[in-house]
Amino acid sequence: MHNYMQKLNCPICIHRTQCFFNSLTEKEYDFLGANKKEVNFKAGETIYKQGTESKYLIFLLSGMAKVYVEGDNGKLFILELIKPFQFLDIPSIFEDDMLHRSSAAIVDSKACLVDLKAFKSIILGDKKNVPRLIKHYNHTQKRYSTRLTNVIYKNMEARIADSLLYLVNEIYFSRDFTLTINRTDLADLSGMSRESASRILGQFKEQDIIKIKGRKIEVLNKKQLEHIARFG
Amino acid sequence: MHNYMQKLNCPICIHRTQCFFNSLTEKEYDFLGANKKEVNFKAGETIYKQGTESKYLIFLLSGMAKVYVEGDNGKLFILELIKPFQFLDIPSIFEDDMLHRSSAAIVDSKACLVDLKAFKSIILGDKKNVPRLIKHYNHTQKRYSTRLTNVIYKNMEARIADSLLYLVNEIYFSRDFTLTINRTDLADLSGMSRESASRILGQFKEQDIIKIKGRKIEVLNKKQLEHIARFG
DNA sequence: ATTCAAATGTGAGATATCTCAATTTATTTA
DNA sequence: TAAATAAATTGAGATATCTCACATTTGAAT
């Protein structure tokens, strides 16, 4: 098991000891548990597609997944990486149950599907459950703003720096990590072509900002990376 | 008064006869009313800035506003245009009350600020009020996805076409309208420079897709505009 | 109507990023 | 361990978009 698993920081999760669902009563928890399914996904497999309906709340139990928006040309832009005990997505509940983003497994993963009706009844059943859900939406919105700003205003160097800092601070919790994602994913996370991402990485390596050995990356100069992320 | 005022389609509003607040009880409504302030903004004036805290729920009573994210370089990307009786923004309630986007008045406008505490207590006071709020978040998230996809995958022609269709379908409700926004706003809405936006408009005029007389725009061939928005 | 300032339009060169093709490196399979 | 396959790097030309400078139009003020 990767060590990034040890230090989870998810806003909402179903792991009994953490986040969202830990505030549920025993009864609520059992009710949700009775209305869930577990599904396995192989690396690369699509978990769900934007524009489709889902009767389930989806979150990850093991592995890693990417959540992304996709264009007609088949290209995709990764919004965030999802680790175990985080929601992959909540459909548009109280509306049309649609999903507005897509998701795929990066490594072999297991997801848990909770019946949406059961979830709704839990949310509406006790007002103490509402704030956590709202927090989730705030978190998502904030992430969207960041991603949008990132891709609109920053040059490629800043975008790759941003992605590396995201991996250090929010995914692997270490300056020294082995990527679970490939270069194409890193490029999609940074909103550029695979080749451009590769070039920038080489450039950072040349400047001794990072050290690369295949999928092993070590951030040598985080301060400078932060500066590049800010000013390009 | 512009005729676009007549056909409002807002997801949530405070106008007594429409949307969100019309489901409130008399008592709830009066309580919110007692905890609100009205503020006037001149055209161009900033209403709020991203990264700041707000103790108020903000929505528009008259005029028009733009909601946008901004980069360090002073450039901005407009997420949506806001018309009367729509929320400008809801801060990150149940968290840090922060705003993650910015807003400015496009024409002279009046906004209504509702005390956040009062709003929270209304939301938590009766579960019937929760779904409408969740809907608002869904709407916002969907809009973000659209904007993001737009700017990442589409060329300038498609982006301008998209903006024009947005104005026709969601703002003015007519193929024939007088812009309340200027060319710079249209460019910021389309994620490109003012000059580029201007060039594309000229191109569309040349192709008889639209007719332009200053700020008056008439869409002559909506089908083609839709095709361009889709395929570039 | 005339004048002035602001908004808008237009052209040409500059620039960032992409695409394609070739090469190298890493990973899997036999 | 070698061979085969997949992933990553690198270079060079192609392209979309931006920037800057200037021209034109529009709307406001006189």
pLDDT band at B217 (very low <50, low <70, confident <90, very high): very high
pLDDT surpassing 70 at residue A5? no
Rg over CA atoms, chain A: 18
Give the residue nearest to nucleotide C18 (CA to C1'). Answer: A193
Instruction: Show the tokens assigned to B72.
Output: 């360090």
Chain B residues whose CB is inside 8 A of the A137 CB are: 134, 137, 141
- Please give the tally of structural domains in chain A: 2
Domain that holds residue B188: 155-231
Domain end, chosen from A125, A151, A177, is at: A151
- Same domain, yes or no: B27 and B82: yes
Q: How many helices (H) and strands (E) does chain B have?
A: 7, 11
- Same domain, yes or no: A92 and A163: no
Strand C contacting residues by CB (7 Å): A 155-157, 191-193, 195-196, 213-215; B 182-184, 194-195, 197-199, 201-202, 212, 214-215
- Same domain, yes or no: B15 and B50: yes
Q: Which of B71, B151, B193, B188 is nearest to A231 (CA)?
A: B71
- With CA atoms as reference, the chain A residue closest to B94 would be A131
Question: Kind and range of the H or E element at B186?
Answer: helix B183-190
A204-213, B3-12, B14-23, B97-106: which range is least confident on average?
A: B3-12
Considering only the beta carbons, identify the residue of B100, B123, B230 that sits closest to A141: B100
Whether A152 sits inside 8 A of B151 (CB atoms) is yes
Give the residue nearest to nucleotide C10 (CA to C1'). Answer: B199
Q: Residue A27: CB partners within 8 Å, gap ≥ 6?
A: none
Higher local confidence (pLDDT), A83 or A71: A83
pLDDT surpassing 50 at residue B10? no
- Same domain, yes or no: A218 and A200: yes
pLDDT band at A61 (very low <50, low <70, confident <90, very high): confident
pLDDT band at B33 (very low <50, low <70, confident <90, very high): confident
- Same domain, yes or no: B77 and B102: yes
Strand order across the A210-213 sheet: A176-178, A216-219, A210-213
- Same domain, yes or no: A37 and A143: yes
pLDDT surpassing 50 at residue A28? yes
The residue-averaged pLDDT of B44-72 equals 92
pLDDT band at A19 (very low <50, low <70, confident <90, very high): low
CATH number at residue A11: 2.60.120.10
- Same domain, yes or no: A193 and A118: no
The dihedral formed by the CA atoms of B21, B25, B26 and B31, expressed in degrees to the nearest 10: -70
Whether B145 sits inside 8 A of A50 (CB atoms) is yes
Domain end, chosen from B119, B151, B183, is at: B151
- Same domain, yes or no: B195 and B129: no
Residue B2: Cβ within 10 Å count? 14
Domain end, chosen from B127, B151, B175, is at: B151
Higher local confidence (pLDDT), A71 or B88: B88
Q: What is the pLDDT of residues A177-214, one digit of tens each?
A: 999 999 999 999 999 999 999 999 999 999 999 999 99
- In which region does residue B103 sit, left (phi positive, over 0), alpha (psi from -120 to 50) or beta (all else)? beta
Whether A134 sits inside 8 A of B93 (CB atoms) is yes
Q: Which of B135, B231, B53, B100 is nearest to A147 (CA)?
A: B100
Q: What is the value of pTM for the model shown?
A: 0.89
In angstroms, the separation between the Cα of residue B1 and the nearest Cα of chain A is: 32
Instruction: Show the tokens assigned to B10.
Output: 């807002």
What is the nearest nucleotide to B186, using C1' and CA? C8
- Same domain, yes or no: A131 and A158: no
CATH number at residue B197: 1.10.10.10
Instruction: Show the tokens assigned to A145.
Output: 């703003």
- Same domain, yes or no: B63 and B173: no
- Same domain, yes or no: A178 and A113: no
Q: Residue A15: CB partners within 8 Å, gap ≥ 6?
A: A8, A21, A22, A84, A85
- Same domain, yes or no: B90 and B164: no
The answer to whether residue A92 neighbours chain B at the CB level (below 8 Å) is yes
